[in-house]
Amino acid sequence: MKRRMKWNTKCILCLIPSLLGTAVFFVVPYVRVLYYSLIDSQFKRNFVWFDNYIKTLQNKYFLLALKNSLLLIVIAVPILIALALIISLALSYGIKWVRKTRFAFVLPMVIPTASIVLIWRGVFADDRTALPIYLLFIWKNIGICIVLLTAAFTSIERFVFEAARLDGANAFILHTKITIPMIAPTVFFTVLLSIVNSFKIFKESYLYYGTNYPPDHSYTLQYYMNNNFLKLDYQSLATSAVLTSILVFGIVMAGMAIQRRYNR
């Protein structure tokens, strides 16, 4: 019993630095942001409660940014996951030309963003659509998705496939009825990770367009918050930050709920 208590005490002591760091750098700043979203200005500091949220939700630029951010999730994330699944499946089957080029899929994670954007600006000269940003997001994040999905594929025991083939299962049934259900938790996690990463594409987009005001099709929530920060409009910045965090939290919770229901 004493030995167990000593072990629990050691675990708690090891967690304290991490918990303190989380509190200082995440919890306290978020509470402060929440406070700024409920006051009229950083000088008067009168509570206006949800007035800032009503104004933000009626702001046409916030609604434009929200629409573009959601479009990035709806369009780019499914394509990213589908490509990662196909490449991961090819790697797990040992297809030679895919295995020889596997280093290229991890390369985007180590190349500096400025170098990537420089190449992108040379390849894509047309700014009439958000296609360059979508492709940049896919290219930037496909490496980590492939690593996660390939690990899931290779963790499946080979005798499962052999038994299915003996029962007469073809390649389509093999993957739709066995492979995908068995790696579903990893797929769900990869989807959620990609959705969260879609909110981090601001740096690449900002360098690509080189302005605080890109074309309307690429104006995302990060631009909206950045511009409010530059204008010292902390109330709009704080309000949009809280709404964005609620959106991300809602997406993650919905994904986890779907995963739990799927695993039943």
pLDDT digits (tens, 9 = 90+) for 103-113: 777 777 778 87
Is residue 2 scored above 70 in pLDDT?
A: no
- Given this model, what pLDDT does residue 140 score? 87
> What pTM value is reported for the model?
0.83
Secondary structure E strands in 68-159: none
What's the distance, CA 238 to chain centroid? 21
Mean of the pLDDT values across residues 214-237?
90
Alpha-carbon separation of residue 232 from 37, 47, 59 (angstroms): 13, 19, 17
- Given this model, what pLDDT does residue 23 score? 84
- Given this model, what pLDDT does residue 75 score? 93
Average pLDDT of the chain to the nearest whole number = 83
Q: How far apart are CA 182 and CA 160, in angstroms?
A: 11
Q: Are 183 and 134 in contact (CB under 8 A)?
A: no
Give the pLDDT confidence of 38-92 residue by residue, as tens digits.
888 877 788 888 899 999 999 999 999 999 999 999 999 999 999 988 888 887 7
Residue with tokens 């609604």: 63
Is residue 148 scored above 70 in pLDDT?
A: yes
Mean of the pLDDT values across residues 23-40?
88
Three-state DSSP class for residue 39: strand
- Given this model, what pLDDT does residue 173 score? 72
pLDDT-based confidence at residue 96 (cuts at 50, 70, 90) = low
Q: How far apart are CA 157 and CA 161, in angstroms?
A: 8
Q: Are 198 and 77 in contact (CB under 8 A)?
A: yes
From the CB of residue 201, how many other CB atoms can be counted at a distance below 10 Å?
22
Mean of the pLDDT values across residues 133-158?
85
Task: Give the phi and the psi of residue 34 in degrees, each rounded to 5.
Answer: -60, -40
- Given this model, what pLDDT does residue 98 score? 65
5: left (phi over 0), alpha (psi -120 to 50) or beta: alpha
